[in-house]
Amino acid sequence: MRKLAVISIAMASILVVSCTPNVTVENSEAGAAPNGIAVSGTGEVYGTPDTLQMRFGVSVLRPTVQQAVGDAAALADELIGTLTSSGVAEDDIQTANYSINPEYDYSSDQRKLVGYRVDNTVVAKIRDIDAAGSVIDATVSEVGNEIQVSGVSFSIEDDTELIAAARAAAWDDAYAKAQQLAELSGTTLGNAATISETFANAQPGPVYRDFAADEAGSFETSIAAGQQQVAVTLQVHFATD
């Protein structure tokens, strides 16, 4: 009976140990922080956008839903036709929104139906930024007062080289910080043990539109692409000797 009690206690101990979570400690002393130096480095480069995306749409209010749908469809066809004739490829035009909603007048004590509004919006990718102003002007001229233009965003179609340059700058920044910290602490900097990357693509500043009317009543719209920032941040954990 005495031996059986001892065996039972031993088995209980084994069960307790097997239920304890695995813990990995890099230092010889339990609870000590892992060896090494952890730093972050940031690299920023700038490039000129070569692609512009804009939202073009028509917004039609008519007394009946049939009239609103029919007129909106006709204007949307004119809009898309103007975009393609202005050099925008059909594959670069995509419907972004289509809606039909009743509109009411609440100015009196009771609700009065005004009509039905149909919105039809497409997103167009303009690959020739220098021609963007003329594309806008052509759609305004063709569609008229029911045109809607919004949602300007620039991009760089192929930013591979910019990302690589930003990454290299981020690494140089991280390594310089780690090297200085190693010298200050009297240690020797080793290889990078872990690296994590965060990427950011910042849009350029505001777009400036200049509507300059002449004697004939025409206008020209200017689009300023500016510069687009590509930034990479690296979190690097260097080993030390």
Q: What is the pLDDT of residue 124?
A: 97
43-91: pLDDT as tens digits = 999 999 999 999 999 999 999 999 999 999 999 999 999 999 999 999 9
Q: Where are the alpha helices (DSSP H) in the chain?
A: 2-18, 65-85, 132-143, 160-185
- How far, in Å, CA of 238 to CA of 171, rounded? 12
DSSP state at residue 98:
E
154-189: pLDDT as tens digits = 999 999 999 999 999 999 999 999 999 999 999 999
Q: Could you tell me which residues come within 8 angstroms of residue 9 by beta carbon, excluding any fewer than 6 positions away?
A: none
The CATH number of 32-48+159-240 is 3.30.110.170
The residue extents of the domains of the chain are 32-48+159-240, 51-155
Residue 166 burial by CB count (10 A; 0-12/13-18/19+): exposed, middle or buried? buried
DSSP state at residue 123:
E
118-145: pLDDT as tens digits = 999 999 999 999 999 999 999 999 999 9
The amino acid occupying position 221 is T
Class of domain 51-155: alpha beta
